[in-house]
Amino acid sequence: MSKKALITGGCGFIGHHVVEHILRKTDWEVSVLDKLNYASMGLDRLRSFGALSNERVSVYTTDISYKLSEGIARELGDVNIVIHMAAESHVDNSISRPREFFQNNINGTVEMLEYARGLNNLENFFYFSTDEVYGGAPDGTAYGEWDRHKPTNPYSASKSAAEQICVAYENTYKMPIMSINVMNAFGERQHVEKFIPMTIKNIVHDREVLIHSYPGKKRAGSRFYIHARNIAHAILFLIEKGVIGEKYNVVGEKEVDNLEMAEFIAQEIGKPLKYKMVDFHSKRPGHDLRYALSGEKMDNLGWKLPVNFEDALRQTIQWTIQHSEWLESC
């Protein structure tokens, strides 16, 4: 029997990849809740792969930081799986507008939990979190799922708070809740405010790329990058094989510093890299130069990255060059 999945933030960057993956790999009906802010880029992402004309897909525009209307709840019907991805996620914006992030990310999670608590056939409430809840990771450190949180900005604090609320609901109300913490995502149709599409755009237009560095400007900050399709694959994998009440880290294949990333992109495009090392971290509290998570638990479950890092990055660069309207429309 087909399942009904509800995806909050399904018009967003990672969210639309999850919608696409579910449509390709299952026979589920998919409902999307999204308030269509600037990061959602309207319905363009869903439109780009035909989701809006797919009879299995329904899209509702709403602000989930308020109680879901009776009308939308009625239209959603008997939902089996909730994948809660909707969130404000830009660190700079969280520093300038913290109240907005707490309203959306914390209240939104509570409202979705309350909605899900009233469902008759809920099988899984899947909470989508971030590596940033643990704070910056010193060299050689990789945080485990239940390590202590140490958020360093309003965005990561809001995600940490929402994550703890999910733990409380699972314990108190015995809801079938599972959480993942993911690392830096990239892929097709990403907003140009993010490092990889911004770097592609700057190199194409012969502009300087700013590389966030450690004090002294000799070492670039680093990330474990992972393609959004790999994240989507991990979500379905965990819905099938994960344990209710557990958290799982979904990590990138390898650590790459931002200068290495920019050099790779420039080489793929075939243009010289113009760059400047910037000690951004010292002047802007709340920005961490390194995050790292342990993927041991996922490894033990048998999960493998479907697409390796370099192939995924190469495909993303080529696709973005061929669809440059995604760089210019943001």
Tell me the catalytic residues.
131-132, 155
What whole-number distance in Å separates Cα of residue 115 and Cα of residue 113? 5
Alpha helices in the chain (DSSP H): 13-25, 44-48, 70-76, 91-96, 98-102, 108-117, 154-173, 195-204, 228-241, 258-269, 280-283, 296-301, 309-322, 325-328
Asked if 160 and 102 count as a contact pair (C-beta separation under 8 A), the reply is no
Tokens (6 digits) for 38: 């600037």
- Kindly list the distances between the CA atom of residue 223 and the CA atoms of 114, 167, 292, in Å, as whole numbers in the listed order: 35, 27, 8
What whole-number distance in Å separates Cα of residue 53 and Cα of residue 51? 5
∠ CA 238-80-237, rounded to 5°: 15
What whole-number distance in Å separates Cα of residue 253 and Cα of residue 261? 14
What whole-number distance in Å separates Cα of residue 147 and Cα of residue 65? 28
Phi, psi of 327 (to 5 degrees): -85, -35
